[in-house]
Each structure stands twice: as C-alpha cells, then as structure tokens.
Chains A and B, each alone.
Chain A
C-alpha cells in the first residue's frame, strides 16, 4: 500500500466522522497550544531578562569590603573599611583578566536645582572608568569628568536621564549648577538612557561625580557621619587641605601616620569596587586573581577569611533568570501533561473507533488488506489526527501568546525549535497512543470481524 493511498484512506476515514475527529483532536490542540504559548512567553521573559542583565553590565564584578557574608545582607557604605581606591588601581595594574575597574562611593543626598529637589536612587562617586566598566561611555550630551577632576575632588557631575526629566524639566542641564547636600556641583554631561535593571530599579536615576568629591565634600561634610565610627578612617573633612594640587589623592601611608595610629589604617576606603572582566569566560579567573591580589595587599594570613567579597553581577541576575526558567519549565510540564491527557483521549477514541469499525476492518481484510495495512491505516489516522491537532494547536498557541503580548504587554519570542518540537511531539503522541488501537485492529480475525454486529 503506497503512502499516498494510505493517506487518502486515512483522510477519507477521518472525514467520514468529522465531528468525532474534531473532538478527538481537541486534547492535542489544547496541549500543543499550551506548550507553544508557554515556550513563547517563557522565552520572551528570559530574553528580556538577559537583555536587562546585559544593560546592567555584562562581565561585571563587584568587590565589597567586609567578610564574605551570605546573601541578603546589605552592604551599606562603611560597614567595613578594608577596600581602598589603591586596591582598585592595583587590580587594574596587576590582574590580567580585568579590563577596567572603578572605585565606588555611595551616598543618598538630596539634589536641588532652582526650586526643584530630588533624591536619586543612585548617587555614585567614582572615576571615569566607571562608565567603561558599565559599557556606558557614550554620553548623550557633554563630557564625563576627568581623572584630574577625581584627583582634585572637583565639584562636577554627570546626570542620568531621569534627573534631566525630574530636575531640569527635560532641558539640557549641561553647564547648570545644582546643589548636592548644599555643595554646588556643575553638570558637565548627560548619560544615555539605560532603562531598568533586573531588579526593576531605574538605572537612569543616577548622579555620577568624582568619588573624592562625594566622599569628602558630600558624605564628609555631614557632621553627623563624621562622628560615627565609619568615618574614623577618613581623617579629614577637607579634601583641599589633604590633597593639595594635582598630587595623588592618597599618598602612601607615611611613617608619621603609621606612628600616630597604632592600628594600621587604610586611607580612603571606598564602598565598592566595580570591575569588568575581559570576557565572559574570564570572570572566574578574574575572581581568582583579584582574591589573591587583595589577600596579599591586605596582608591576610593563610586560613584567615577574606576581608572582602567578590560577586559577579550575573550571579543575582542568573538567580532571577533561573526562577523564570523554573516557572517556564513548570508550566511546560503542565502543558506536556495536558498533551499526554490529549494522547490518552486519542487512544480512547481510536479504540472506540476500532470497535465500531470492526466490520469495515473485516471487509478490508477480506478484499486483501494485510494486518500490516490495517495497522498502518489506523496508525496513519491517529498520527494525521494528531498532526492536524498539532498545527491547530500551534496556531492557537501563537494566537494566545500574541494576545498576551498585546493585552498584558508581556514580552514573547517565537521559537522555531518549539514549533518543530511541537509538530514532532504531536506526531509522536499520535504514533504512541495510536499504536495500541491500531495493533488491536490489525489482530482482528477477518471472519469474526465480518460477523461482528
């Protein structure tokens, strides 16, 4: 029996009972539709997550001062005072897997421009390298401050798009003067928009200034914080007097200083160091190199715990992505279960169909059908049914995904693999669940079958 004849016979048989065929296939339609919709929505979500991760800075690493602690602990500035800007310089100098590194000092001051005020999510003190690390070097307007500004603790800053909107009413802020906790800053540049990060925080709600300025003029000018333990190591409120001229901001610890302070203190501790590895697969080597270097610089004895901790940015983002993946897989499992249920439905109806068509089977055998022809016919019917169901399900699933995109504004992403897989799966369901009924049909005795009432 040729394939064309088999297909023709199967199509005719299915058409003879169109309503039942349609009902039979419903389970497969729903199953495949669910699988396709889940795949497209799941893929859309993980796609948008990975784009968000990329916007947060691919290959980025963060060093926090303080002994590595389990997740969930907040790393407030000054919780530990072991990380310095010099560490940052040394890392850049000596670690080959690190492409760029920038120290980070955080604050949360109020910003005032004319009659408006605003508290940005991020007020960061850093170096121009910060934008290199974050892959954010292209500015929308103006320029980034310079390394000289960092050395001089100049009162200059660049601002993110949200600040432009909230504080300047959309006007170009370059050259304008704002007050950060009563310190006057000149805006020298505007950052390009970056969007929300993986945690939903607005990355454009940022003010970036030289870290020296933030540390000594903004954080340091607060009398309240100057009396806390956290500022004990930052010896001066006045950066000008500490670092006159263009001299390096942090002179090596002088013998006098060592003598004055019984405990060796590191000057100019920073809240974080943010770095980028040269490539994604260099993150692990980079962590090893930096750990070794910092342990040496911090004179940690073997066995002593690190007084810093390194995290790569992707770690938490990955956790987010894996949660999404888990949800997708869970829903996919449910969808697959519904496919199996659909398959059982197919088997059920095919068994009924075989019983009902016993006489037909007997007749076909009487006019020359071999048992394998009968097996093939019923298997073809089941597979064809499932394939048609699969295609309908495909259309329905795509439609559902598009609706979700249109009305719920969820990201979706169509996937060729999912489409191919669903076709293959539906055919497989037809073969697997159609086999038993078809086998039963093929084993009928023609005489008995012809006599069947």
Chain B
C-alpha cells in the first residue's frame, strides 16, 4: 500500500507569452504514495492548476520527469496520454463540466466510449448505476444537469471520474462552486473513497477546512513547494471540519 503512485522530479513549466517567458512551475519534486490524500494549497497564481494539469496528463512539463504508476508519462505522445487519462486518472472540476441535456447515467458512461475494453453495454450500464448509487444518486439517474443541484452535479462528475476505476482522482477546487453544506457532502464522499476504496486523492483548495481533510498538505508559492506537511494521527471526524460546523453537522450526520 505504500508504493509510489506519483513521482515528480524537478518539474518546470514555462509559458511563452509573446516575447516573455513566464516561469510558472520552477522545479517541483515530490512523491505521492498510493492511497494518499493530498491537498494542494497556495495563493492564487502560485501554479496549482498548472501543476494539476501536468499531473492529470493534460499538459506536458517544459522539463523534468513525471512517473505515474511507474511509467514516465511526460514524454508520451498525446494519444498515449489520452489513454492514461482514460484508464488511470479521474478528473473532477470546479465547474463540474457535465454535458448539457444529457442524463446522469449517460454522463457517467461517457468516458467508456473511449475505453478499449470488451465491456458490454449492459455491464457498462450496471457499473454506472452502481457508481451513481454509491454517490447517492440512485434515484436521479435520468436527471439532466438542469434538474440537479450543484452538489448533485458534482457527485455525477465524481461518479464519471470513477467509471474506469482509476487509482487516482485529481480535483481542482472541487468545492469552489459549492456552499458549505454541499462541500461537506462532497468531502464526505472523498473521505470514503479514500478510506474504503483506497483511491488516491489529490485536490486543490483555498479552503482550510477542505485542506484539513487531507492527511498531507502541500503548499505552493511562486511555482515552488513552500511547505509539505503530513498530519499525524487519525483523520478528524468529518463534521468538525465542515464550516460552518453547526450547519454542516445537522445536514451530514
């Protein structure tokens, strides 16, 4: 359980804007074990999203090495990286990114269209239904995004991210658009996925209470790691960390 899932070695990312080079990531090295629960924090513009895009194989570093699940992926072709994204990575976005006018079930099954396994239509559907039940939307499978609340939409997005049973879930400010109550719901789900399913979770947040759920907290500053702290002891009970606590307690308990 303690083997390495993510290993970054002196990752740099430079954007060229006209004549100037913008050094956004300036030498990031870190290792994340399988089953970890990591929060990435830092002030706005510190490079969190840029780092998440690299981790999620959506972008390539200007220099440096990135091993994901034992494979160096930063030099792979875009097709090979698409395959990695499909099979090894789950993505959750701040703005959910659901397809308009599409049912929850179809949303969840969508990534399977790009998966080359012999999964039958029926098995795929069964798996999507299971996932929707797991995120508590067993009754909402035929609902379209316009018929779902923000928290429900994000849960559909989480189910979609998990459809190919990836070892790791990347979430860039997954609760940024949600109120505290729904934030607590989503966090509870992440906690459960991490503890019960052993899924590695790496999320970006500005919210200290959200970061408090993670066992490890990496703080970025100007494209470099400012601090990397691991919280000792058992994870805190969910309720006490949802802010405002009283409100969240009454909803989640």
Do these two chains really belong together in a complex?
yes
Interface residues of A (CB under 8 A from B): 1, 5-6, 8-9, 12, 16-17, 359-360, 362-373, 446-447, 450
Which residues of chain B have C-beta atoms less than 8 A from A8's C-beta?
113
Which residues of B sit under 8 angstroms from A450, Cβ to Cβ? 58, 93, 97
Given A366-B56, A367-B85, A370-B82, A5 and B113 contact (CB-CB distance below 8 Å): yes
- From A16, A366, A370, A446, name the one whose CB has the most chain B CB atoms within 10 angstroms: A366
Q: Which of A12, A368, A371, A446 is close to B83, meaning CB atoms less than 8 Å apart?
A: A368
Q: Which residue of B lies closest to A368 (CB)?
A: B86
Least Cβ–Cβ distance between B8 and chain A, in angstroms:
18
Q: Which of B27-56 contact A (CB under 8 A)?
A: 53, 56
- Chain B interfacial residues counted at CB < 8 A: 28
Residues B114 and A366 in contact, CB atoms below 8 Å apart: no
Q: Is B59 an interface residue (CB 8 A)?
A: yes
Q: Is B91's beta carbon under 8 Å from chain A?
A: yes
Nearest Cβ on chain B to A370's Cβ, whole angstroms: 4
Q: Describe B's contact surface by its main secondary structure.
A: helix
- Closest residue to B59 on the A side, CB-wise? A447
Least CB separation from B107: chain A residue: A363
Q: Considering the chains assembled together, what is the distance between the CA atoms of A401 and B78 in angstroms? A: 52
- Which residues of chain B come closer than 8 Å to A365, judged between CB atoms? 58, 82, 85
Instruction: Pick 9 A–B contacts, CB within 8 A, sort by A.
Output: A5-B113, A12-B102, A359-B97, A363-B99, A364-B114, A367-B110, A368-B82, A371-B79, A373-B114
Does A16 lie within 8 Å of B85, measured CB to CB?
Answer: no
Q: Measuring CB to CB, which residues of chain B are less than 8 angstroms from any residue of chain A? A: 53, 56, 58-59, 78-79, 82-83, 85-87, 91, 93, 97, 99-102, 106, 110-115, 160-161, 164
CB-based nearest B residue for A367: B111
- With beta carbons under 8 angstroms apart, the residue of A12, A363, A368, A373 that contacts B106 is A12
A16 with B100: CB separation less than 8 A: yes
On whether the beta carbons of A369 and B114 are closer than 8 Å, the reply is yes
Nearest-Cβ distance from residue A50 to partner chain B, whole angstroms = 54
Q: Quick one: closest A residue to B172, CB to CB? A: A450
| Minimal beta-carbon separation of A448 from chain B (angstroms) | 10
B59 touches A370 (CB 8 A): no
Question: Is A447 touching B53 in the complex (CB atoms < 8 A)?
Answer: yes
Instruction: Report if A369-B100 is in contact (Cβ < 8 Å); known contacts: A1-B114, A12-B106.
Output: no
CB distance from B177 to the nearest CB of A (A): 14
